[in-house]
Each structure stands twice: as structure tokens, then as C-alpha cells.
Homo-oligomer: A and B are copies of this chain.
Amino acid sequence: MTDTTAPVITPEQMLEQWQGHRRLSRKTIEAFPEDKLFTHTIGGMRPFAELAMEMINIAIPGIEGLVTGKWESFGNEEPPKTKKELLTLWDETTDHINKLWPLLAPERLQVVEKAFNVFDGPNYWTLWYFIDNEVHHRGQGYVYLRSLGIEPPPFWER
């Protein structure tokens, strides 16, 4: 038996995990034809532009909450009207995360807070939730793309 309570993963590695997935999500946005990004759905689900906007609406107040401990609600911004504007917003979010991340005190990741004033949990779990939610919805985007006969970006390339 070994000590399974000795910390091994660094904040830097957590950031790269997040941003690596965000790079793949960006490629997934790019893979959609302009119109299908905003209109194509299956089973009554939201078009991928709305799923991508949810990722942004979580990431922006999410990084703020992680760093400061002041949690706002989820963003409720609507997606912009074009793929180009959505990608611009995506890139601004990337920069925003990278700018704030070095201000995140590592010990804050083990602090328990009510993220977005809704979810009680340690902040590392909340951050994983952001990532998992993105992977989950991006996987759904892959089905949308396949149903349109479009090859999605390779999952293992970040």
C-alpha cells in the first residue's frame, strides 16, 4: 500500500489539461459549416454554437471564481451570429484564462466553495467539472458532425 493522499498533480498541469481541451473544442467549432453550427440539432438538443457558448459562459466567471473566491452566476450570453465572432470570443476567453491563472493560489484548489452559488465542492472538482462538461458537449458535437458526413478533429490531438 502506498500513500494515496500525497498530492501529485500541479496547477500548471491542470491548466494545460483545460487549455488542451479548449484547443480541441476550437477545432470542433471550426469543423462545422457556418450554417450548421447555428442550426443543426439531434433529438431536440441545442446546436453546437449554443453548446460552445455554454463553455464560454462557464469559463469566464469560472476562472474569476477560482482565483478570487467571488462566484457570480453562470454567464447567460447568447452566441454571436457568425462562426468568426464565436472564434474571436473563444480566443479572448483563452487569453483571459491564461492571464488570470497565475493569480490562482494552488491551495485554493482544495478549498470547498459554492461554485456559481450552486454547486458545493472543492475547487479542483469544480475545475474538472468545467473540463468534463466541455468534453461531454464536444463529444455531442462530434455526433452532429458525423451525422452531417463531416470527419471531426482527431480526439487525441490537442
Question: How many copies of this chain?
Answer: 2
Task: Given contacts A43-B149, A132-B135, list 13 more A-B pairs with CB under 8 A.
Answer: A1-B102, A2-B103, A2-B104, A4-B12, A7-B8, A9-B9, A42-B146, A43-B146, A44-B146, A135-B139, A136-B139, A136-B155, A143-B143
* B-chain residues with CB within 8 Å of residue A147 when the two chains form the complex: 42-43
Q: How many residues of A contact B (CB 8 A)?
A: 53
CA distance A156 to B129 in the complex (A): 8
Query: Dominant SS at the A interface?
Result: helix
Residues of the B chain whose Cβ atoms lie less than 8 Å from the Cβ of A33: none
Q: List 16 A-B contacts (CB under 8 A).
A: A2-B102, A4-B10, A4-B101, A4-B104, A5-B12, A7-B9, A8-B11, A8-B106, A8-B109, A8-B110, A9-B124, A44-B146, A45-B143, A136-B142, A137-B139, A140-B143
A133 at the interface (CB under 8 A from B): yes
In the assembled complex, A22 has its CB within 8 A of some CB on chain B: no
In the complex, which residues of chain B have a beta carbon less than 8 angstroms from the beta carbon of A155? 133, 136
A13-21, A57-65, A70-78, A82-90 - interface stretch = A13-21
**What residues of chain A have their CB less than 8 Å away from a CB belonging to chain B?**
1-15, 17, 21, 42-45, 101-107, 109-110, 119, 124-125, 128-129, 132-133, 135-140, 142-149, 155-156
**A22 shortest CB reach to chain B, Å:** 13
* A10 contacts across to B, CB distance below 8 A: 4-8
- Partner of A2 from the list B105, B137, B139 (CB cut-off 8 Å) is B105
